[in-house]
Structure 1
């Protein structure tokens, strides 16, 4: 079956520049439609079936920003790449805020342009597959160790199923311990790069100079102690995925180098002059507020927009209480097996204590609590006394119990009891109960139907 040729709309009032770009892109297999100003470009984008728009910012009759707004009024899903002079990068960033996919600077590097066009078309294709992927979610997407049936986790799973097959850069945010590395792993292992390397770097764990060497490698003699050439993580991740954890701790110098790799797919090793090309998908994570850091001038705005093509936020565990029983059960089985113990379940009051605690350390703290309990437990069930002191103390100080668990309940029984208790506390207000449980009203309705409670 013959592959459909993508059609690009090239909008630029500089005839020579437009002709040059057309030659580069046509040579890469794209069909090109030309427009000599923003008003013509906006009209053609509305009337014709085009897959992507390349839009110059500075034009005589209608500038690129006006044209962008008009194009997205009629076709909000159409990707637009801005072409701008280097001195107008701030305007290009402003255009990205208005919905542009990305920007390239003049003089345009043909390789960088082709890469940006490919990323934009891949992302458009990804969005078009949205519906079918949602329908196939349960059959095709492996969440790995990401556990939970709460609404935030269901929404995360759906988004990951859409994002993973693409090459889009993903920025994962959330408090420490919420499972950002697990999300990155799920993205990689469900992507087209799953058989290629998945390389992880913690940016907060290394000094600036060491981090640059770790990321980009170094040549022999590049600095004291560099006894031999060493490849960096970008090289090792070629054709695979690189996960940069705690990217908010990266220095401005390193930020600039990361931006270059994202833009052009190339870098030099420390102490070297040879330019190295790589094909790497970048995933980044942070517990910091990068937008606030951009406003304060400690994080580059252009890098922030490059990283957050697809932003994913992981809610804290206190906002997804409904997932605690399943997570606790998962960790119980894991650490019982690891420690060669036959611990079958968690006693009712211990589970109540787990549900009552706020978990400031999130999933990581819950995991540590269950591991500790397994080590201390000599019976078949985890008891309240096996839990950490801060969990027991919070439970003792809680006057309103989340729900009353009776001995012998299964995990499904606990979920049912939690739903019923929450409904009682809200006077059978299903909307409020769903909000407290961290699920949608429709999900609550489905659960009630599943348990024969409607």
Structure 2
């Protein structure tokens, strides 16, 4: 995931429209906020809206604003989110849920960089950077006639794909600490981190609910924790149940045992901050054995890269 974070840093320096894709709960809004916080617009507003939570009429009023008397209940002029986000970033979450009629109006607002409030005749200029997100495959939606291709290309000037958390184990502990620092700041008894058993459990869990589930698990643990460190017993039951379950039977995509061992050792080293003595203790092996495994794995990775380099460029099959 380090490469994704580096991409975020590069994206933040520009001003192009960004489309963030990935499964539900992978942290697309976190990425959008990271783009905002590292950009020249960081001191200006970050405004987010869930496009899938509103009807077409409400979404138009929410984004573009409305004039007094334009519809029942419109008792005063109201600016929309485009105007509220001027100078900053407008985050359009669940962009794939926008109805076709609204897609046309949104496309015009992006192209012309101006909006017209509902019930008004004049256009108002806007200076916002658009970051959109979806868990849908928009190319499939285009093929099905549910999403405009021209809007897709207008939004996807830069695409940032966020992999699921199960594919980015190196992010689990930094994210867990990020959520802990946010949640535990107001406690009388400060929580400074996690026990090693809790860290091991966080790394072993598959996180089907992605970053959203991790945040919820840390919040649960903060509530249950009675000491200065979160222990595995403070974590939600579905995580602790892993300790009681036998290892699942793998029927597809069987990985070599050597590769699984290499990944696990790397995860343990990350969890203990690179302390090889502590890692060997946790793995219940001697320090010499750990060094031998590290050397073997590094040599294997080198050999693999050498094999790829030696393969013919135009191999005939």
Partner of 1:256: 104
Alpha-carbon RMSD across the aligned residues, in angstroms, is: 3.2
Q: Which residue of 2 aligns with 1:190?
A: 38
Q: Structure 1's 424 and 307: CA in aligned 2 closer, same or farther, altered over 3 A?
A: farther
Q: Identify the residue that residue 352 of structure 1 maps to in structure 2.
A: 200
| Residue aligning to 2:279 | 417
Cross-structure match for 1:173: 21
CA distance in 1, matches of 2:55, 2:166: 33
Cross-structure match for 1:237:
85
Paired with 2:140 and 2:224, the residues of 1 have a C-alpha distance of 43
Residue of structure 1 equivalent to 2:162: 314
Q: Deviations over 1:50-100 (max 9, x none)?
A: xxxxxxxxxxxxxxxxxxxxxxxxxxxxxxxxxxxxxxxxxxxxxxxxxxx
Q: For residue 78 of structure 2, give the secondary structure of its aligned residue in structure 1.
A: coil
Q: Cα distance 1:215–1:354, how it changes in 2: closer, same or farther (>3 A)?
A: same
In 2, the alpha carbon distance for the partners of 1:162 and 1:285 equals: 18
Cα distance change on mapping 1:431 and 1:367 into 2, 3 Å: farther
Partner of 1:397: 245
Contact 2:20 2:160 (8 Å CA) reproduced: yes
Which residue matches 2:296? 428
* Larger relative contact order (Cα-Cα within 8 Å, sequence gap ≥ 6): 2
* Matches for 1:13-412 after TM superposition, within 5 Å: 152=1, 154-399=2-247, 402=264, 410-412=272-274
Q: 1:292 & 1:229 partners in 2: Cα distance?
A: 39
Q: How far does residue 302 in structure 1 lie from its aligned partner after superposition?
A: 0.8
Whole-angstrom CA distance in 2 between matches of 1:405 and 1:203:
38
- Residue 185 of structure 2 aligns to a residue whose secondary structure is helix
3-state SS of 1:242 partner: strand
Deviation, structure 1 residue 192:
2.6
1:425 Cα deviation from its structure 2 partner: 8.2
Unmatched 5+ stretches in structure 1:
1-151, 435-440, 442-454
Q: Say how many residue pairs are matched.
A: 280
Is the 1:218–1:229 Cα contact (8 Å) retained in structure 2? Answer: yes
Q: Which is worse superposed, 203-212 or 422-431?
A: 422-431
Q: Measured at CA, do residues 335 and 411 of structure 1 come closer, stay the same or move farther in structure 2, by a change above 3 Å? A: farther
For 1:61, the equivalent position in structure 2 comes to: none
Q: 1:192 to 1:405 in 2, by over 3 A?
A: closer
For the residues of structure 1 that align with 2:45 and 2:58, how far apart are their CA atoms? 22
Q: Distance in 2 between matches of 1:352 and 1:296?
A: 44
Q: Rg: which structure is higher?
A: 1
Partner secondary structure for residue 172 of structure 1: strand
SS of residue in 1 equivalent to 2:183: helix
CA distance in structure 2 between the aligned counterparts of 1:288 and 1:423, rounded to whole angstroms = 44
Gaps of 5+ in 2: 249-260, 284-289, 306-317
1:282 and 1:200 mapped to 2: Cα distance? 10
Residue 218 of structure 1 contacts residue 232 of structure 1 at CA under 8 Å; is this kept in 2?
A: yes
User: Normalized against structure 2, the TM-score is what?
Assistant: 0.78
Deviates more, 1:275-284 or 1:252-261: 275-284
Moved more, 218-227 or 372-381: 372-381
